[in-house]
Amino acid sequence: MVDAISLVPELEEFILNEHTPFKVVNPNNLPSKTQAAMDEFMTGKSVPHAVYIYSHDYRLFRHLVISGKITIK
């Protein structure tokens, strides 16, 4: 069994540009199963860019995975 924390590592936050109100993360290097679960989680949420997501959304997703509320299959 895979450790949940390894599926959702901490990602480096950065400021995308002066027009983006919150910091973002780049989830592209996450495992494919994690990306699929995150895509489902992000449905209906605002994203600042086609690749990057707001870091607060990723932190919530990460917390839900680690706490077992989201299962990555």
Angle at 68 between CA 3 and CA 50, to 5 degrees: 85
- The whole-number pLDDT of residue 2 equals 64
- The whole-number pLDDT of residue 48 equals 77
Q: What is the pLDDT of residues 8-66, one digit of tens each?
A: 999 999 999 999 899 999 999 999 999 999 999 999 998 878 889 999 999 999 999 99
Residues 24/49, Cβ–Cβ less than 8 Å: yes
Q: How confident is the model at residue 5 (pLDDT cuts 50, 70, 90)?
A: confident
The residue with greater pLDDT, 53 or 1, is 53
| Residue 51: strand pairing partners | none
